[in-house]
Amino acid sequence: MAIRISDNYLSKILLGDLNRSLGNLLKLQRQAGTMRRVNDFAEDPRAVGAIQRYNALIANNEQYLRNLTRSSIMIESADTALQDISSLLAEVRELALRESSAVATTQSRQTAVIQVDNLINRMLDILNTTVEGNYIFGGTRTDVPPFVRNAGTIIYQGNEGQIITAVGPGAVQVVNITGDVFMGSMSAALTGSVDLAPRLSAGTFLTDLNLGQGWDPGVITIRDGNNNSWNVNLSAAVTLDDVMNAINTTTGGAVTAGLNASGTGLQLSGTGPLQVSEAGDGQTASSLGIAGISEADEFNGRDIRAWLQPGVALTDIAALDGSLPLGAIEIEVDGVFTTVDFSGAATLGDLQSILAAAMPGFQLRLDASGLSVVSSSTETFYIRNAGAPNTASLLGIEGTGTPARMFGILEDLRNALDSDDPQAIRGSLVEVEALEQMVQSLLIKIGGRQQDFEWIETVLMQRDTQLRSKLSLERDADVAKVSSELAAAEMSYQSSLLVTSRLFQANLMMYL
Amino acid sequence: MGSLASVMDSSLSAMFAAQAGLATTAHNIGNADTAGYTRQTMLAAARKPLVFSFGSIGQGVNVVSVRRSQDQFLLNTLRSQRAKLENYTSIDSTLYEIENILGSVDNDHLGAALNEFFGAWADLATPPADSALKQQVISKAISLVTDFNSISATLDDLERNIEAQVGEELISLNSLLAQVGGLNSQIMYAEIGGQPANDLRDQRDLLISEISAIAAVTVREREDGSLDVIINGRTMVNRGNYQQFTTTYRETSQGYRMVVVTEGTYAEVQLPEGRLQGLLTSRDVYVTNVRNQLDDVARLLINAVNELHVQGQTGSSSGLMFFTGNSMHTIEVNPTLIDRPELVATSRSGDAGDADIAQEIAALADTSALGTGLTISDRYRSTLIDLASKRHSFEFLVENQERSVAAVESKIASVTGVSLDEEAASMVRYQNTYAAAAKMIATVQTVFDSLINMI
């Protein structure tokens, strides 16, 4: 039997169809209006999850890009500062080179002292560079200037903390250079204060004289009170003995050369007044400390003692007279106390090996006329006397070894210039060059970081593009598809309306 | 052998029957659009014939009854399907409300607030250090906390709305039950004569359908024409008597909550499917579920951020709790930090340039928290996806259920609905019958005239 079609039935069926058709049209119109495929959570739960996840990933990615941009200023500032330091060190090197050469005078060195002081101050300023109020070379102590003057020396009060910035999930980049590299890697040092230059002996090499500055070989002229005059050729001399023999031989005993009682220089004896001068335009007489005139029968030369060398016997050192054998010293590093016993030492070399054996990483350096203790550690260390005799005081190494190396080197240079000491200036020159190399390597490190940053930025940008296109795939409506579907839905709705209106109009009553 | 008078009587009965048929047709046409109206048909039967030796001669027609064309099975199916539909619709609309509270695909405010909170930490953690950014962390934290609090408050409002709706539904349910009781009495009275009270029954069927939408019922018809209405085994209407529902607050597994009880005895009612059950389920299951999940998100956030922040050092003071509270309702930014943002800790060392704590808190945005394998944002997102999936399946259920209901409704409309074509045809038929019967009477009159003229 055919189904009975009541008017109610007809309207229910047709209205139901109309509703569905209109609902579909609405959904498509909403997609076309918002250009979003998913407008409600319920439309596509899987896509909602994906959209939320992509949104979060994009937000995180943007955060990393923001971090990168913000932090790159740290790296750029460090780069600029290090470039400045590098050019200042180049200036220092040029200055040291100039002032250690023969053309330098006491006057020019005094001028250089002022220049070095200025350079030190400029470096101090540069190393205390701030970015938005943050000191960039102080490790994580960014709120206090990392380099400050403390009782005349420059100390580092920052730390070795790395400042990092997040550039990806679990990925970080270091953006700072800690100021301790200007200190620690150049080691902590304690420079002695006692003149330990050994007494001269006949066997002392002429090249060691004048605290290692050596001498100028040549010919000297000696006159005595009897108007005798001799040209003594010392060009071939190697030791002091050679010099003394040459004088004794050339003068035929009229003038005898020997060492003075304190062993600090030469002494000539003959009939006064004795006069020694250069025979050529060299500096032979003056470098032997005997240029000049003495009214008496004795001519006492100035102090031309040799520098310190490992082979120097402790007994040859005037400052230690009456105190031998030496006792022990106490070294404190980071709260640890070590006693180093020097009682068995006979030479400076013995002192060096005893210290190296007792304190690994520690080194006793023989400077021109004194000792200094250097530690490879960045820790400050303290050296004290340990019982009688006061060995640390005797050796001039009692005190605090601070790790202020870069400024230490510059201070050394300054002092060397001030004391008109070309040998020490040359010594500093080597250290300044090492410093320059270190700064260069830091610049390379910073450059590498800048490249890393650029690379990471590219990666993050690519990732952003990828994430956005994936998000768009999940979220956005396909314009072409939506518009064609919309046209179809509109057509279907209109035809439903047409059919419904026709059917509702017609019934049998109209035809009776 | 029958007389002429009996022929006239037969014709007259035909005219009466045609008139009754026309009246029924008119009633049908008149109620074509009346809700719950069932098509009526006039039932006629041939009168008892006069029996003669040569056979029997009919005596005309009698109107036996006017019947409703109701299909009780279809009606019961419709009621239970509608109860399901109402159940799903209530839950779906609650889920829709929750979705609106949490935002939309393009306006995911809590997700955005979480992102911005962690973003503020990331900004604070990014060198060069700028302690002014601590204020921003606090501001973003306050926005986040405010959003949590307001979502919590809005969910509370939603629960109260649902409970208010339950109250309103109960009022109409009670009124419907009372009306069914009243109609039972009227029908019992009207049917004493044995003829069905069609229109009263239509009204009662309509009321019971409305009750079914609120709570599914089973019905049992008694011989006296009254109908017992039974809700989940509890007889709510018995002849003219009826029972009512009310609400009270009871201690439940989810705390002190509104429950539906019978009036007078205060016995708790296990509701069958229908709008009421849908409302209570959406409160007890779906709102509670979202609340629990968001509480979890808030707790995770509070614990993860606090655990890191207390390790921090600011100047001479050690890190404070960043958040207080333990749910999205109670979560607050530590008031001390609001007053003194400088106490926001960024590092364990307390060094101005150190930001390890800030880095680690910022990293919570995309690293898993507390060994759950999910980030805090993931936890929040899974709440959204869970909600979206439920909404999706309920939309699907509602749509399907609407189709089922529409199918049964169409079927019922097909059986009980008025077809104007059909009524027009009946009208013509009854009109013709009436005209023919009248013609018959005129013919008998002519026969009488012939007879009289013979005399």
Domain ranges across chain B: 4-69+418-454, 76-406
Q: What is the rounded distance in angstroms from the CA atom of residue A198 to the CA atom of residue A264?
A: 8
pLDDT at A151: 64
Listed in sequence order, the DSSP H helices in B310-419 are 335-339, 356-363, 376-416
Mutate to test the interface with A, among B376, B385, B399 (most CBs of A within 10 A): B385
pLDDT at B177: 94
- Residue A243 sits at φ, ψ, to 5 deg, of -65, -50
**pTM to 2 decimals?**
0.68
Q: Which residues of A are less than 8 Å from B118 in CB distance?
A: 63
pLDDT at B137: 92
Q: Tell whether the model's pLDDT for residue A185 goes beyond 50.
A: no
Cross-chain residue pair B111–A39, CB shorter than 8 Å:
no
Rounded to whole angstroms, the maximal C-alpha distance in chain A is: 174
Q: Which residues contact A281 (CB under 8 A, 6 or more apart)?
A: none
Packing angle of the helix pair B288-309, B376-416 (nearest 10 deg)? 170
Q: Which residues contact A258 (CB under 8 A, 6 or more apart)?
A: A244, A266, A267, A269
Q: What is the rounded distance in angstroms from the CA atom of residue B136 to the CA atom of residue B130?
A: 11
Cross-chain residue pair B406–A16, CB shorter than 8 Å:
yes
Counted across chains A and B, CB pairs separated by less than 8 A come out at 196
Q: What is the rounded distance in angstroms from the CA atom of residue A279 to the CA atom of residue A267?
A: 19
Cross-chain residue pair A7–B351, CB shorter than 8 Å:
no
Write out pLDDT tens, residues B187-242.
Answer: 999 988 888 888 999 999 999 999 999 999 999 999 888 999 999 888 999 989 99
Do the bridges between strand A171-174 and strand A256-259 make them parallel or antiparallel, or are there none, so unpaired? unpaired
How many C-alpha atoms does B366 have within 13 Å on its Cβ side?
A: 23
Q: Does B362 touch chain A (CB under 8 A)?
A: yes
Mutate to test the interface with B, among A1, A9, A11 (most CBs of B within 10 A): A9
- Of the pLDDT bands very low, low, confident and very high (cuts 50, 70, 90), residue A200 is confident
- Residue B136 sits at φ, ψ, to 5 deg, of -65, -40
- Of residues A5, A41, A166, nearest to B384 (C-beta): A41
- Of residues A7, A67, A132, nearest to B417 (C-beta): A7
Write out pLDDT tens, residues A362-376.
Answer: 778 777 677 878 776
Q: What is the rounded distance in angstroms from the CA atom of residue B223 to the CA atom of residue B184?
A: 12
SS (H, E, C) A330-370: EEEECCEEEEEECCCCCEHHHHHHHHHHHCCCEEEEECCCC
Q: Which residues of B are less than 8 Å from A131 in CB distance?
A: 128
pLDDT at A379: 64
Of residues B162 and B318, which shows the higher confidence score? B162
Q: What is the rounded distance in angstroms from the CA atom of residue A86 to the CA atom of residue A444?
A: 12
Q: Tell whether the model's pLDDT for residue A225 goes beyond 90.
A: no
Cα nearest neighbour of A62 on chain B: B119
Write out pLDDT tens, residues B91-123.
Answer: 999 998 998 888 776 778 888 898 889 999 999
Q: Does B313 touch chain A (CB under 8 A)?
A: no
Cross-chain residue pair B32–A8, CB shorter than 8 Å:
yes
Q: Which residues of A are less than 8 Å from B71 in CB distance?
A: none
Q: Tell whether the model's pLDDT for residue B87 goes beyond 90.
A: yes
Mutate to test the interface with B, among A48, A136, A162, A172 (most CBs of B within 10 A): A48
Element (H, E) at A179: none
- Of the pLDDT bands very low, low, confident and very high (cuts 50, 70, 90), residue A168 is confident
Which residues numbered 391-420 in B keep a CB inside 8 Å of some CB on A?
Answer: 391-392, 394-395, 406, 409-410, 413-420
DSSP-assigned letter for residue A43: G
Single-letter amino acid code for the residue at B269: V
pLDDT at A46: 83
A147 exposure class (CB count in 10 Å sphere: 0-12, 13-18, 19+): buried
- Of the pLDDT bands very low, low, confident and very high (cuts 50, 70, 90), residue B342 is confident
pLDDT at B302: 93
pLDDT at A319: 82
Mean pLDDT of A139-164: 81
Q: Which residues of A are less than 8 Å from B415 in CB distance?
A: 4
DSSP-assigned letter for residue A314: G
First to last CA, chain B: 22
- Of the pLDDT bands very low, low, confident and very high (cuts 50, 70, 90), residue A254 is confident
Q: What is the rounded distance in angstroms from the CA atom of residue A293 to the CA atom of residue B245?
A: 135
Q: Does B221 touch chain A (CB under 8 A)?
A: no
Q: Tell whether the model's pLDDT for residue B263 goes beyond 50.
A: yes
Residue A238: count of CB within 10 angstroms of its CB: 12
Q: Which residues of B are less than 8 Å from A170 in CB distance?
A: 363, 367
Give the residue carrying structure tokens 């007259």.
B12
Q: What is the rounded distance in angstroms from the CA atom of residue A205 to the CA atom of residue A312?
A: 12
Cross-chain residue pair B127–A175, CB shorter than 8 Å:
yes
Q: Tell whether the model's pLDDT for residue B1 goes beyond 80.
A: no
Residue A95 token pair = 């200055």
Mutate to test the interface with A, among B28, B108, B126, B399 (most CBs of A within 10 A): B126
Interface ipTM above 0.85: no
Q: What is the rounded distance in angstroms from the CA atom of residue A78 to the CA atom of residue A60?
A: 27
Cross-chain residue pair A40–B355, CB shorter than 8 Å:
no
Cross-chain residue pair A134–B127, CB shorter than 8 Å:
yes
- Of residues B130, B353, B395, nearest to A139 (C-beta): B353
Mean pLDDT of B320-347: 90
Cross-chain residue pair A6–B416, CB shorter than 8 Å:
yes
Cross-chain residue pair B353–A176, CB shorter than 8 Å:
yes
Share of chain B above pLDDT 90, in %: 48
Cross-chain residue pair B353–A163, CB shorter than 8 Å:
yes
Which residues numbered 68-97 in B keep a CB inside 8 Å of some CB on A?
Answer: 95-96
CB A339 within 8 A of CB A391: no
How close, in Å, is residue A376 to chain B by CA atoms?
26
pLDDT at A510: 79
